[in-house]
Amino acid sequence: MANDKMDIETAEANLKAMAHSEQHYFNSYNHHGIHEEMLKDEVRTRSYMNAIVQNPHIFKDKVVLDVGCGTAILSMFAAKAGAKHVIGVDMSTIIFKAREIVECNGLSDKITLIQGKMEEIELPFPKVDIIISEWMGYFLLYESMLDTVLYARDRYLNPDGLIFPDKATIFLCGIEDGDYKDEKIGFWDNVYGFDYTPLKATALCEPLVDTVEMKAAVTDPTAVLTLDLYKCTVEDLAFSVPFKITARRDDFIHALVAWFDIDFTACHKTIRFSTGPHTKYTHWKQTVFYLKDVLTVQQGEEVECNMLVKPNEKNRRDLDIKIDYKFDAQDALRKAEGTCEFKMC
């Protein structure tokens, strides 16, 4: 017990020595509340459970690395699936609770939990057979935890090793969102009789993480980024991609909404879950990017867009996002063109 107390004190001191943004990030995972939210996200946690527990023929006798193990839920799934040994790594102090949880479940001989930053610790195995990790942030890439998984892959994964999950795709579509845009953005035009428009620009710059109803979708979805976790590099996480959205009906487009799908293709039968508006709620919700213009579109018309995404230079965990749109409608009054810059922080 005295040893554990010392470990926790050392971990807290190490956290305090980190850059402020890193402290803020890891401290957010110290509290049980955020883990409760993730564990209660059934779409997320059951997909991982099924991908691991339904594939004992893949996990049997393998050495497994759980990158960012949190409360060790994925580590315990892997142990249950027959892994020879599981190593869980987490910088946050939640890992001390994870050790108790692993012990309560009689899995301490199968699971080793290491407190520290993945990039700084040394694993007790030179190589691992399987990497499991739940690294996805809002809009998939916010928080940049994928960098850490790619580091673990390059440093520790056997050449024929597996990654769970191994594929991620970001989708976008145009939505009608007049009422909510008015509530969130138009609100600043008149606040108790005062002109608050200086805050309107700020509000427009922040993508909104919220649930979007399927009926709001005005265009078909389009994939803007697909990541193959066996091959992608940190450089691929900054990208600029042109894309088109096509109107399904006559309507107005106030915003683009983004979500992501996750695939575990190494399973016997691919397991996939989506965080889109067309399916069950997840704690990632969707991410809404309001456009400056309202686009008045007719069924079949296309809007040409480009999305640029890159980690912020000062804080890699934040994202700078730029959306260009050009709507070349037949009648001049409906034509629109613009650029919107967003910061996710």
Q: List the catalytic residues.
A: 134, 143
Helices 94-104 and 2-16 meet at what angle, rounded to 10? 150
Specify the stretch interacting with ligand SAM by CB under 6 A; choose among 52-60, 114-122, 200-208, 302-310.
Answer: 114-122
Using CB under 6 A as the binding rule, the residues of this chain from 54 to 113 that contact ligand SAM are 68-71, 73-74, 89-92, 94
Q: Return the bridge partners of 87, or none.
A: 65, 112
Candidates 8, 18, 38, 345; binder of ligand SAM (CB under 6 A) is 38
Residue 23 or 222: which CB sits closer to ligand SAM? Answer: 23
DSSP 194: B
How far apart are the C-alpha atoms of 139 and 207, rounded to whole Å? 9
Cα–Cα distance between 66 and 98 in angstroms, integer? 12
Minimum distance between the CB of residue 162 and ligand SAM, rounded to whole angstroms?
17
In the range 130-159, which residues lie near ligand SAM by CB under 6 A?
Answer: 134, 145, 148
Q: Rule CB under 6 A: which of 155-214 touch ligand SAM?
A: none
* 67 in Cβ contact with 148 (< 8 Å): yes
Instruction: Choose, by CB under 6 A, the member of 11, 15, 29, 258 that binds ligand SAM.
Output: 29
Taking the complex as a whole, the smallest distance from the CB of residue 91 to ligand SAM amounts, in Å, to: 4
Least separation in angstroms between residue 333's CB and ligand SAM is 47
Contact (Cβ atoms closer than 8 angstroms) between residue 209 and residue 259: no
- 15 contributes a contact to ligand SAM by CB under 6 A: no
**Rounded Cα gap, residues 146 and 336, in angstroms:** 36
Q: Identify each DSSP E strand in 165-315 by its residue range.
A: 167-175, 208-210, 222-228, 239-246, 251-264, 271-274, 286-297, 302-311
Taking CB positions, which residue lies at the least distance from ligand SAM? 68
Q: Strand 85-90 relative to strand 63-67: parallel, antiparallel, unpaired?
A: parallel
Q: Do 282 and 310 form a contact (C-beta atoms < 8 A)?
A: no
Q: How many of the chain's residues bind ligand SAM (CB under 6 A)?
A: 21
Q: Please name the amino acid found at residue 248.
A: R
Q: Which of residues 245-264 bind ligand SAM (CB under 6 A)?
A: none
- Binds ligand SAM by CB under 6 A, chosen from 11, 15, 26, 260: 26
Name the minimum Å distance from CB 250 to ligand SAM.
41
What is the binding site for ligand SAM (CB under 6 A)?
Answer: 26, 29, 35, 38, 68-71, 73-74, 89-92, 94, 117-119, 134, 145, 148
